[in-house]
Amino acid sequence: MEKIIDSNWYYGYLQFKVKYKGYGKEHDEWLFRDDLLEDLGEESLLDYEKEFYDQHPKSPHYQDKTRVRKGVVRSYKKKKKSGRR
């Protein structure tokens, strides 16, 4: 792993988009923070997070109380009920 390039909440769990050394952006992938914590260890993950949040301070953070996915806007229109059957 080279660095974290984005973060997002997904069903209440924080994900990071990670970039790998020596690979193009088509290989970037979203990984859950908990999985990265398990794979990298706390100290290494905190180093990657510090570097990311220094450059992107407003990105979703695991300590945020509001856990909202960014960039997702959905609008649903109610179907009108017709009096005819």
CB 3, CB 48: distance < 8 Å: yes
19-49 as b/e, with b when 16 or more CB fall inside 10 Å? beeeeeeeeeeeeebeebeeeeeeeebeebb
Confidence of residue 64 (pLDDT cuts 50, 70, 90): confident
Total residue count of the chain as it appears in this document: 85
- Structural contact between residues 62 and 33, judged by C-beta atoms closer than 8 angstroms: yes
* pLDDT one-digit tens code per residue, 27-62: 999 999 999 999 999 999 999 999 999 999 999 998
Domains in the chain: ranges and CATH: 3-55 (2.40.50)
The whole-angstrom separation of Cα 66 and Cα 64 is: 6
Query: 82 pLDDT exceeds 80?
Result: no
